[in-house]
Amino acid sequence: MKIPEDMFYSTEHEWVRVDGDKAYIGITDYAQDHLGDIVFVEMPELDEEIGAGDQIGVIESVKAVSEMFSPVGGTIININDELESSPELLNQDPYANYIVIVAMNNPDDLKSLLTPEKYAALCEDAE
């Protein structure tokens, strides 16, 4: 299982890569592995205002339907359109394929997220 060192992680198995005030958000390797083959990604609306913990989409796989939550609050400024026609990209490389980009309105939201080490421990405990 891959857990890149340059990201933050949520207990809901989303990752956050920060670039200035932008947060790139996707699902972790752990999440895609447990979901199985992803067949559909429901995206949020552009320019939607969201809070940390708000639902921002749904991921459907051959095994389950799973809600996706935003680890940070702000405004959705970009969605990964490629996932609408090729949701399997999340299985191929979940860290190269973000789902949304959020312009953060409260960088302190990052303080509640997990470091790579703490996220690895969370995943090990879940097994």
pLDDT of 127: 74
What residue segments make up the domains of the chain, in order of their start? 8-107
Q: Are 27 and 14 in contact (CB under 8 A)?
A: yes
pLDDT of 1: 84
Its pTM stands at: 0.95
User: Could you read off the pLDDT of 25-59 as tens digits, one per residue?
Assistant: 999 999 999 999 999 999 999 999 999 999 999 99
pLDDT of 126: 81
User: Could you read off the pLDDT of 54-68 as tens digits, one per residue?
Assistant: 999 999 999 889 999
Q: What is the DSSP letter of 114?
A: B
pLDDT of 49: 97
Domain 8-107 coded CATH 2.40.50.100: yes
pLDDT of 91: 96
As given in the structure block, the two tokens for residue 15 are 């990752």
User: Could you read off the pLDDT of 86-119 as tens digits, one per residue?
Assistant: 999 999 999 999 999 999 999 999 999 999 999 9
Give the list of residues 6+ apart from residue 46 with CB closer than 8 angstroms, or none: 76, 77, 78, 79
User: Could you read off the pLDDT of 71-85 as tens digits, one per residue?
Assistant: 999 999 999 999 999
CB atoms within 10 A of CB 68: 23
CB atoms within 10 A of CB 38: 24
